[in-house]
């Protein structure tokens, strides 16, 4: 393929170098994970779902009129998505709302998406996989790059699928970031076969833009497995709420007809996956943790915690709009917790916090179905094994997960590996183990910038007994 002049990862139509690809560093020095001093009594409201916010931003940008996103997430991942859409000509304005974590967002689609720009994906999988099909609808060149760690994340499926749709893409044969494409203002669409075994985001990215393709899309997954199916279901539900019909005539096949995407005002649910470490804290420290605004029905995989946490001896109930997890006396109160065998192929993003929990169990555990986590912000299986081994644990990497043996853990440096969920896992271990020093708590800004403050308030609820955190 011809090498375009704009294929530099820092391409700018203004011939300057304004793009900042650096990740946030957070506070200088390690963050000592606070130790729980007794049963918790905490009630929390969490920011909006990253998965829902970034899907709704894309759909609003492609819609047939303005949309309002109420109580969206404001984090590094959502900021990168907003900046990317603005670079393509979409109007996104902050407007007053009633959310505790920032303003609402008014999204006004562009009359015509414009290229001749560069997009910084940071380390956000939703940006690097959702935005290329959108950029292909723009007119002109668009260059994609991100953090150094983003260049190690799987992207070949996105690149190959765009080529199959007739989009001119230059990646110098890497199958990874950085790459660039030439948008012609339209995408033909039609039938495409992909292997999305590495990430369900490859499917979601194509489905989100598919209604704007001239022939729509028939998408066929050819791999043996497809992780995180709830995320694809979330994408389909978001499309259908905007008047787009997505049919699935066979397993692993999705059909989207061409047509408009309706403008819509949307209430963004709290991020239920970010709730995982907070709810798990009740199992470790004992007492109760309540998450406000828990939806009655949802496509978020974090809802699986309702079925998972009772396997660790917790009770789960609803109180009004809140989900409450009661850990009883908790592990710190002397309750034993046997190990478990868990298949997390539906919700691998819950794995780091749950692996931290089973590392505190008193018999062996196996967490499987999570081979795809090797291609996330870091190789999460290797990172968890490394951190837990350094803290005195015994962890064996399996082909598709981890096996853990019960061991008394001790204080240690805990690597975040630029991964928010690795930092969450370290905080869970620190509830029960003195001296867990997380090297980069700023990694949590990816999806929950307020994590350090909320975590300290959670732990302080045991001392204060205030019933509110």
**Which phi and psi (to 5°) does residue 267 adopt?**
-95, 120
> Nearest Cα to 332, choosing from 445, 160, 459?
459
Token pair listed for 87:
């670079």
Burial classification of residue 455, based on how many CB atoms lie within 10 Å of its CB (0-12 exposed, 13-18 middle, 19 or more buried): buried
- For CA atoms 429, 435, 436, 440, the dihedral sign is positive
**Which phi and psi (to 5°) does residue 43 adopt?**
-130, 120
The catalytic residues are: 349
Residue with tokens 């028939």: 218
Let me know the angle formed at the C-alpha of 134 by 259 and 106, rounded to the nearest 5 degrees.
80
Contact by Cβ (8 Å): 64, 73: no
**Sequence-separated (6 or more) residues with CB below 8 Å from residue 241:** 264, 266
Helix axes of 156-164 and 125-135: crossing angle, nearest 10 degrees = 10
Omega cis (within 30) before 178: yes
Contact by Cβ (8 Å): 128, 136: no
Residue with tokens 């916090």: 353
Please give the helix or strand (H or E) that residue 234 lies within, else none. helix 229-241
Number of residues that this document lists for the chain: 469
CA distance 421 to 226: 21
Token pair listed for 180:
């660039």
Which residues on neighbouring strands pair with residue 117, listed in sequence order? 142
CA distance 26 to 139: 37
**Sequence-separated (6 or more) residues with CB below 8 Å from residue 297:** none
């Amino acid at each position: 393929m011809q090498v375009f002049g704009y294929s530099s990862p820092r391409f700018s139509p203004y011939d300057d170098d304004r793009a900042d690809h650096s990740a946030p560093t957070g506070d200088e020095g390690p963050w000592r994970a606070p130790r729980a001093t007794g049963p918790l009594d905490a009630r929390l409201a969490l920011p909006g779902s990253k998965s829902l916010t970034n899907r709704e931003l894309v759909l609003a940008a492609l819609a047939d009129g303005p949309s309002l996103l109420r109580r969206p997430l404001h984090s590094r991942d959502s900021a990168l998505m907003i900046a990317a859409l603005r670079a393509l000509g979409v109007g996104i304005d902050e407007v007053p709302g009633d959310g505790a974590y920032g303003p609402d967002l008014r999204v006004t689609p562009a009359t015509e998406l414009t290229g001749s720009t560069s997009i910084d994906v940071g380390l956000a999988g939703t940006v690097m996989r959702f935005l290329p099909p959108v950029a292909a609808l723009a007119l002109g060149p668009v260059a994609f790059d991100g953090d150094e760690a983003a260049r190690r994340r799987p992207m070949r499926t996105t690149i190959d699928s765009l080529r199959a749709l007739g989009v001119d893409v230059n990646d110098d044969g890497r199958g990874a970031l950085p790459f660039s494409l030439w948008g012609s203002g339209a995408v033909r669409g039609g039938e495409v076969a992909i292997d999305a075994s590495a990430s369900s985001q490859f499917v979601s990215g194509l489905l989100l833009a598919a209604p704007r393709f001239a022939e729509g899309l028939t998408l066929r997954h050819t791999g043996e497995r497809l992780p995180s199916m709830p995320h694809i279901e979330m994408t389909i539900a978001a499309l259908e709420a905007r008047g787009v019909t997505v049919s699935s005539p066979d397993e692993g096949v999705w059909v989207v007809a061409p047509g408009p995407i309706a403008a819509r005002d949307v209430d963004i649910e709290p991020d239920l996956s970010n709730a995982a470490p907070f709810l798990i804290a009740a199992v470790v420290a004992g007492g109760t943790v309540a998450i406000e605004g828990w939806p009655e029905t949802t496509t978020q995989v974090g809802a699986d915690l309702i079925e998972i946490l009772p396997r660790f001896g917790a009770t789960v109930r609803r109180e009004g709009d809140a989900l409450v997890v009661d850990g009883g006396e908790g592990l710190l109160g002397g309750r034993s917790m046997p190990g478990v065998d868990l298949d997390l192929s539906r919700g691998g993003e819950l794995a780091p916090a749950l692996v931290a929990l089973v590392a505190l169990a008193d018999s062996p555990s196996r967490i499987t179905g999570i081979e795809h986590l090797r291609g996330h912000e870091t190789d999460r299986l290797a990172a968890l094994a490394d951190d837990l081994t350094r803290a005195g644990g015994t962890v064996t990497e399996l082909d598709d997960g981890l096996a853990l043996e019960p061991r008394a853990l001790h204080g240690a440096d805990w690597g975040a590996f630029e991964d928010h969920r690795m930092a969450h896992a370290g905080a869970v271990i620190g509830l029960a183990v003195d001296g867990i020093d997380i090297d980069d708590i700023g990694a949590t800004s990816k999806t929950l910038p307020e994590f350090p403050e909320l975590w300290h308030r959670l732990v302080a609820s045991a001392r204060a007994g205030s019933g509110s955190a």
